[in-house]
Structure 1
């Protein structure tokens, strides 16, 4: 059985599309845990109505504590063998999505199953596949480090909880709770997941639609966003100290991509005394860029080597039109 966890905060506009994309799945053996995180719109009432319609729906009403707290609350009551997080403004565009997930897990018995997704634009009513790959992970990669290598070499392991299905026992045995009160919570969580999971898998199915919204957390960048991102990268790097060399190099490729994300984010905020400190603090971690085989990250690595960190940051600010 799957446990699908849906954190919800003031999402009445998109909630029906999200929930019914789950309830209308061909695969039926799951529980849908709706965590109402202190909504003040109609979301809380809608959750109760879903539960009245379908006995697979479990509703938890709680005080607002943020996305991480809502996810953690859902995990505590989950009973399924695997956990699947879905954000409440996203949805599944294939009613066989869960069936494909379960069938794949029956074969691979992976700790973590990764899958593709689309960036969905409501104004176009269209989604665009994010990953550029045309195959699943080969079967012979299931039971050893090759699986992780496949993910990293093809840039398939991203800092996102919602494009993964994770064995529930990993949460119980490894303290895989999400850190509360921070942005970029998925970066640190996905890094810890990399370290504790033993079997990885990937299916080239992009049934998850990641809604692109103006004003969402991922679209608006503040000094707190930048500071939390900085702290997450440093935490991830510190966790690499005890890893053996062959695994460590691939792990640091994941961290390098997050470092590149920091460079992009710093270029999108207006400079002030506070964020200048964060940017300067990250200078000493610029060596991380060398670990990535991602083409865009490699370009940043080359520019950093040729021009230096300070000039790289300036060029990026010019590119994004922020002074």
Structure 2
């Protein structure tokens, strides 16, 4: 048994895969297995995985029919031997000491989950540094920060999990934003979470990825996930209730913005439902400190018309 199982779903990423895998194999922390899950890649990604397995005994390769990101992660979880589990996406890369940092903190604090910071990497743009902090929290405190979305991301990556957290949890098949669907379930099983905001994970936003693409019907999964999460936690704690509802409102904003950016607002029946939901929550949004001034101004304009909201949204992203 090794200390850490690092799971990397691989699909059609031959351009990025070597940088990703090299950043893992060059970690200062050495006691790990790397599970590369070739999810039926049509390019040379599967062959590249096999080459790494021949070169390094820590590398294991699973070749499977294409089933999507969740299915690939689940396949990795099913065979993982480590006491801890980590995930890296195959078009991203990590700092050479990321797993040393995560492992040191989870051992030091006897935590169930260790989290580090993320760099958002956009082609041609400078990396933005964020404020450093170190926190040891319980599950409720962590959920509040997750729902706020400012200091901790919901991503499966940039985290180190005790393997028992996945004894009965798997990623949902066929869903976008799959991380969002299980994050509350994961944190619910944790007694203690340690967060070191040192940015050690490089999250690459490539054209065509979930976070950079324009609107598709599957974006409604984002609303579904956070609506379900709110139902899971409602009534536990007043601050948590507020944070959960704020995240649901944010989900509606995100989907509306995607619709508007693709000029589809007049062609999608759900647009009216989204606008209606946000308008019903106008005072909640205006009074909530997590929403930015710009977002509140946009919300005020949405009370008058979608066209006025679209004008501000278009200017913001131009």
TM-score by length of 2: 0.85
- Following the alignment from structure 1 to structure 2, what is the Cα–Cα distance between the partners of residues 43 and 307? 47
Give the 3 Å change call, closer, same or farther, for CA 153–265 of structure 1 in structure 2.
closer
- Contact 1:227–1:278 (CA<8 Å) still a contact in 2? no
- CA deviation after TM superposition for structure 1 residue 232, in Å: 2.5
- Following the alignment from structure 2 to structure 1, what is the Cα–Cα distance between the partners of residues 303 and 152? 26
Structure 2 residues without counterparts, runs of 5 or longer: none
- Following the alignment from structure 2 to structure 1, what is the Cα–Cα distance between the partners of residues 81 and 287? 38
1:191-222 Cα deviation digits (max 9, x unpaired): 33344433222102111111121222221123
Give the 3 Å change call, closer, same or farther, for CA 213–63 of structure 1 in structure 2.
same
In the other structure, the counterpart of 2:159 is: 164
- Following the alignment from structure 1 to structure 2, what is the Cα–Cα distance between the partners of residues 233 and 187? 7
Output aligned runs, 1:76-87, within 5 Å: 76-87=78-89
- CA deviation after TM superposition for structure 1 residue 151, in Å: 5.9
Are 2:109 and 1:108 equivalent residues in the alignment?
yes
- Following the alignment from structure 1 to structure 2, what is the Cα–Cα distance between the partners of residues 264 and 50? 41
In the other structure, the counterpart of 1:279 is: 271
> Which of 58, 73, 79 is matched with 2:75 structurally?
73
1:263-291 Cα deviation digits (max 9, x unpaired): 3223222226652x222223454337468
Describe the SS at the equivalent of 1:33. Answer: strand
In the other structure, the counterpart of 1:135 is: 133
- Following the alignment from structure 1 to structure 2, what is the Cα–Cα distance between the partners of residues 181 and 150? 27
In the other structure, the counterpart of 1:18 is: 20
Please provide the CA RMSD for this pair: 2.8
- Contact 2:215–2:258 (CA<8 Å) still a contact in 1? no
Output aligned runs, 1:145-156, within 5 Å: 145-149=140-144, 155-156=150-151
- Contact 2:259–2:265 (CA<8 Å) still a contact in 1? no
Structure 1 residues without counterparts, runs of 5 or longer: none
